Homo-oligomer: A and B are copies of this chain.
Amino acid sequence: MSAASVPDPTPEEHVSLDPADWSTYRQLAHEALDDALDLLQTVRERPLWQPVPAEVRNSFRGPAPREGAGAEAAYQELRENILPYATGNIHPRFFGWVHGSGLASGVISGMIEAAMNSNCGGRDHGALYVERCVIDWCKEFFGYPASASGVLVGGTSMATLLGLAVARHVHAGCDVRKEGLPAARRLVAYASSEAHESARKAMELLGLGGDALRSIPVDSAFRMRVDLLEPAIEADCRAGLHPFCVIGSAGTVNTGGIDDLDALAAICRRHGLWFHIDGAFGALCVLDDELRSRVRGIERSDSVAFDFHKWMHVPYDAGCVLVRDGDLHRQAFSTRPVYLQGAERGLAGGGIWPCEYGVDLSRGFRALKIWFALKEHGSTSFGLKMRENCRQAVYLADLVRRRHNMELLAEPTLNIVCFRYIAPDITGDALDALNRDIVADLQEAGIAAPSTTRLNGCLAIRCCITNHRSTTEDLGILVDAVSAAGQKRLSRQLPQRVIPCLRSLEELPSTL
């Protein structure tokens, strides 16, 4: 039978959403690629950050475009209104929060990922072999057995949620997936008072409640007081609660503190608790021979959550959870309804699918940028850069210590330095406000971007060196700029909110 006997449903000519003229489109894409690479190559010459001007912000208001403007016009708008206003973490003096610096290879993997357009939820195709390869490498890094499992996710918040969900599945005392949380069994978990909020958010989402996450005090190095953990567990048991999980921190967000993971592992074993590690950025210390000992015990955990977009610098976003017992991991999440039935062969083959290890069924090809980064640079290079960042933290702490107008607020335990600007007769809220202003001044001037946090009741300038582009010279510039900004603030020569955006470092001393 001929198809012609059926009326044509599209009297108008079929037009796909592909470019009408590939060669023009190709030229535009090559221009965009040069812009993308220029952004990375010349980052040191540009301001780290600049506020998005009002007219640009306004350009993002208004109704949705009904008619297309074409790729050329869309790209010009992108180039003018988006490209100049990045977060700034690719800059060598970005020290705020824990952001990675990006990699040139990310540009290559980004375009290949988009063109292949693989859905890594499951089925049998190349991307899944790459993801399994990356997961296998991670098992090796962390000393996990081959029978362990893992899945790539957006970041450690999600990875911790998945790890805790497996722990809940194991310890609920019922078929929690089917029946829901048991009314008679209140599960409680433990983390240090410096643990990341994502642990509490995971407890909330799992229905256990934030109160069920016990906050164990830290010692002077911001590590969980192991001596207080066991009494807390025992007290909860006596109160009829069910301790099920300890969350160790490998690199706290405030200070880079690392819990005594070995001691926590021993306590977990003794009490039959799940040992999860939030190693968002610190876990990857395993990549370096010198740093590895700081996370000793990580290989004894039941699950570990960490990011590749932090200290391994792959572009946002890419995190991972590894679970020692791959079967338990799968039992906690796997479901294969009729429309997701696997097959022995064809596209629906491929054995276990990644969607059986988490929430997402549609999944981008995150593994590609990780695979490429490790292939290009090797794990040793990343380890060495981490080691350099830790030395830079010691160097920065030393710079701060030698300044009469600065105070070190915590010894660097890893790559984070917390300090503040000080001045005679300025204390309390006024000093906090001054330091907050200094940080904003530096950011608005595009010179450097530390962040702020609170430590022991003080507002701290927090400098987190997860940056492969930073040099010791950059740290010197930071300290000089903090000093200059503080002095200017004090001498009231600086208006409260207006600082011109510096275009080059040379302008720094005269302007601030």
**Partner of A180 from B9, B17, B211 at Cβ < 8 Å:** B211
**Contact, CB under 8 Å: A376 / B69:** yes
Q: Which residues of B contact A451 (CB under 8 A)?
A: 339, 347-348
**Contact, CB under 8 Å: B444 / A346:** yes
Question: A309 within 8 Å of B by Cβ?
Answer: yes
Q: Which residues of B contact A340 (CB under 8 A)?
A: 197
Contacts A117-B315, A391-B10, A472-B10 hold; do A133 and B60 have CB atoms under 8 A apart? yes
**Partner of A81 from B18, B126, B359, B403 at Cβ < 8 Å:** B126
Q: Which of A207, A436, A475 gathers the greatest number of chain B CB atoms within 10 Å?
A: A207
**Contact, CB under 8 Å: B64 / A108:** no
Q: Which residues of B contact A183 (CB under 8 A)?
A: 183-184
> Which B-chain residue is minimally distant from A132 (CB atoms)?
B60
Question: A19 within 8 Å of B by Cβ?
Answer: yes
**Contact, CB under 8 Å: A119 / B99:** yes
**Contact, CB under 8 Å: B388 / A10:** yes
> Which B-chain residue is minimally distant from A207 (CB atoms)?
B207
**Partner of A343 from B70, B440, B476 at Cβ < 8 Å:** B440
**Contact, CB under 8 Å: A206 / B209:** no
**Partner of A395 from B6, B17, B141, B462 at Cβ < 8 Å:** B6
**Docked pose: A206 CA to B82 CA in angstroms:** 37
Q: Which residues of B contact A73 (CB under 8 A)?
A: 375-376
Q: Which residues of B contact A203 (CB under 8 A)?
A: 180
**Segment from A89-97, A224-232, A322-330 that makes contact with B:** A89-97
> Which B-chain residue is minimally distant from A86 (CB atoms)?
B116
**Contact, CB under 8 Å: A197 / B335:** yes
How many copies, total?
A: 2
**Contact, CB under 8 Å: B115 / A64:** no
**Docked pose: A207 CA to B114 CA in angstroms:** 35
Question: A423 within 8 Å of B by Cβ?
Answer: no
Binary B-proximity of A28-66 (CB < 8 A = 1, otherwise 0) = 111011111101110000000101100011001101111
Min CB gap A456→B, angstroms: 11
Q: Which residues of B contact A140 (CB under 8 A)?
A: 63-64
Question: A503 within 8 Å of B by Cβ?
Answer: no
Q: Which of A103, A111, A198, A201 gathers the greatest number of chain B CB atoms within 10 Å?
A: A111
**Contact, CB under 8 Å: A136 / B61:** yes
Q: 19 extra interchain contacts, Cβ-Cβ under 8 A, other than A161-B205, A316-B363? A: A9-B388, A14-B388, A17-B468, A26-B34, A67-B378, A73-B375, A81-B126, A86-B118, A90-B117, A97-B339, A100-B117, A119-B317, A158-B359, A181-B209, A207-B208, A315-B364, A341-B452, A343-B436, A347-B443
Please list 27 pairs of residues, one from A and one from B, whose beta carbons are closer than 8 Å in the complex, sorted by A's number: A9-B388, A9-B391, A17-B101, A17-B385, A40-B115, A52-B126, A56-B129, A65-B375, A68-B378, A69-B378, A75-B108, A78-B372, A88-B347, A89-B119, A90-B115, A97-B123, A99-B119, A119-B309, A154-B154, A154-B364, A178-B209, A183-B183, A206-B207, A316-B362, A339-B453, A346-B444, A347-B443
